[in-house]
Structure 1
């Protein structure tokens, strides 16, 4: 008689399922193990970018703050927040400090870490706010504190759609026409700017712990198509002798330079290694849209008149296309 031995089944431990959240931002489909409160959840198919939680070894080249680019991608270290590994243009691994708040992690995840993703993917992120006027986009470029968000908020109060706040991602169609994709659906405004608008900061989330800057939610545009860009305005200040705002064209290499210096996290570009691609995109953008300066007095008393003048001239330009 032959006896058959029945082997005990191999037990494979089942790891608990990790909850994932799906979003669309900057024209990219994102799947994240971290809930991103600034974004609106959206059903997607295969993601372009995945965000997961993991352990990232310390690297002396980026302690306590900096970016290091190695074989496995870029490691971004933010003091008192954590480390982010950006693997090419498809993945971000987050290793947050135990003591940091989720708000600060999200701030740098959607800001500096995502900027590296955009550069890896050869997109052109501008340090700019973009709004839609009569089916075209205009964007306001400038350094932090130049009034980009305050100006965008003024347009929003008059019914114009905000496409992006602080970071405007530009892409081109096969014909070389430039388009702006929807960004993060919020406006970051300082407390005094909220007060000018008659909005209390009560109930609003701080943009960063310890700052008097707050996130004002706006309707999500993730489901909207990119908008063709008509003009880029470089925000500046007039001297004390000039009361009225001045709008002037920026031409040739000066226009290319204005786009280049207002590229979001432009310091990453030489490290990631696409400087040639970046300057080609700056040249292409300068050729297909108008670049202008918008200099004003930065006086709250004249802000309404200055913004109205910008709106009037921008609509006139678009109507003549």
Structure 2
């Protein structure tokens, strides 16, 4: 059912893109309302990936579609696609769009970033970066603590998985979601709000990014899925059921590592400096964090979070064929946590 809905949305996107190229779509003042990260968003652009919200007069964030200057005025940081300075940043994705993010409250989106003969990018690609890097910058501007994790609401509370690029956080999150029927909280970014007493994890857009072999192992067809623009064999799967969109206390953070050949899967709790470094390594786009916060503030929040949750190191064989066996230490610990809560 998920694949059919994805295919339908892809067809809608294609029709919209064709209409825009023909000049048949005029600017609209209509507003669409959504919620994500505990924020209410008013947008001139339809965002079908997000849960809808009631219209309100003072949303937390507005997404507008005017023209945007090619360069961010007064930028103190410029590196490739990213410019930052003075509570603002600008993200330019060639052939897709230009995004200006201001003061944690507003995203200005300019779709006129041509590549070759195409003057307008595919709407799905435009939303991909809006819901990813642009919203991530906005979270940092609000002085929140965004984490790059895959997280699920397990019987032992909310557990989040992280690791370096390619560590398999999306794969293990999807595997547990589909095989254990645990609601997915997030598979990319979720945010901790420092002003809250407990470390509540506020989920972002309900999507999973999976490699082609992981999709095949889970029996999910790639037809109709959005292909990742930077990795040819990775796909974006939007979910609209068994997804949790309300904040819940984060119970555990799991650092994923690859086991050596012949090494059995193992789960080990870590503390102290190792735990602190694990949290710091989980911060989403740290270059944005250090621009809109201070290094001292980020360290304080990392220490505070490391003291309030359990942090583990999980080493497992890389073979998907062994996944059901290798996740057993993880499942056992989660069930132990469930028993302790009852």
Quote how far apart the aligned CAs of 1:63 are. Answer: 7.6
The question of 1:52 aligning with 2:74 is answered no
Partner of 1:88: 103
Tell me: CA distance 1:162–1:276, structure 2 relative to 1, closer, same or farther (3 Å): same
SS of corresponding position for 1:258: helix
Change (3 A) 1:201 1:77: same
Match of 2:142 in 1: 121
Secondary structure of 1:317's match? Answer: helix
RMSD: 2.5
Greater share of residues in helix:
2
* Alpha-carbon contact 1:26-1:183 (below 8 Å) kept: yes
The reply to whether residue 259 of structure 1 matches residue 271 of structure 2 is no
Mapping for residues 202-281 of structure 1, pairs under 5 Å: 202-208=223-229, 211-219=232-240, 224-242=245-263, 244-281=264-301
How far residue 139 of structure 1 moved from its aligned partner, in angstroms, is: 0.1
State the match for 1:288 in structure 2. Answer: 308
Question: Matches of 1:40 and 1:299 in 2, distance apart?
Answer: 35
* 1:56–1:83 Cα contact (<8 Å) kept: yes
In structure 1, the residue matched to 2:183 is 161
Distance (Å, rounded) in 1 between the aligned partners of 2:321 and 2:336: 25
| Mapping 1:59-78, distance limit 5 Å | 59=71, 65-71=80-86, 73-78=88-93
Please, which moves more after superposition, 204-213 or 108-117?
Answer: 204-213
SS at match of 1:192: helix
Report the counterpart of residue 41 of structure 2 in structure 1.
30
- The CA deviation at 1:93 is 0.6
Cα distance between partner residues in 1 of 2:215 and 2:324 = 15
Q: Does 1:142 align with 2:163?
A: yes
Larger Rg: 1
CA distance change for structure 1 residues 113 and 99 in 2, over 3 Å: closer, same or farther? same
Q: Which residue of 2 aligns with 1:199?
A: 220
Instruction: Report the secondary structure of 1:320's partner residue.
Output: helix
Q: Which runs of 5+ in 1 are unaligned?
A: 1-14
Deviation at 1:168, TM superposition (A): 2.1
- Once residues 222 and 53 of structure 1 are traced to their aligned partners in structure 2, the CA distance between those partners, rounded to angstroms, is 29
Give the 3-state SS of the residue equivalent to 2:165 in structure 1: coil
TM-score under structure 1 length normalisation = 0.86
* Matching residue of 1:4: none
Deviation at 1:35, TM superposition (A): 1.3
Q: Name the CA shift for 1:64/1:275 in 2 (closer, same or farther; >3 Å).
A: closer
Q: Normalising to structure 2: TM-score of the pair? A: 0.81
| Structure 2: unaligned runs, 5 residues or longer | 1-25, 114-118
Cα displacement (A) at 1:173? 6.2
User: Quick one: distance in 1 between partners of 2:231 and 2:243?
Assistant: 30
User: Could you tell me how far 1:311 is from its partner in structure 2?
Assistant: 1.6
CA distance, structure 1, for counterparts of residue 78 and residue 67 of structure 2: 16
Question: Aligned-pair distance for 1:181?
Answer: 1.5
Closer, same or farther: CA 16–84 of 1 in aligned 2, 3 Å: closer
Q: Give 1:309 deviation, angstroms.
A: 2.7
CA 81–275 in structure 1, closer or farther in 2 if over 3 Å, else same? farther
Whether the 8 Å contact between 1:141 and 1:148 is mirrored in structure 2 is: yes
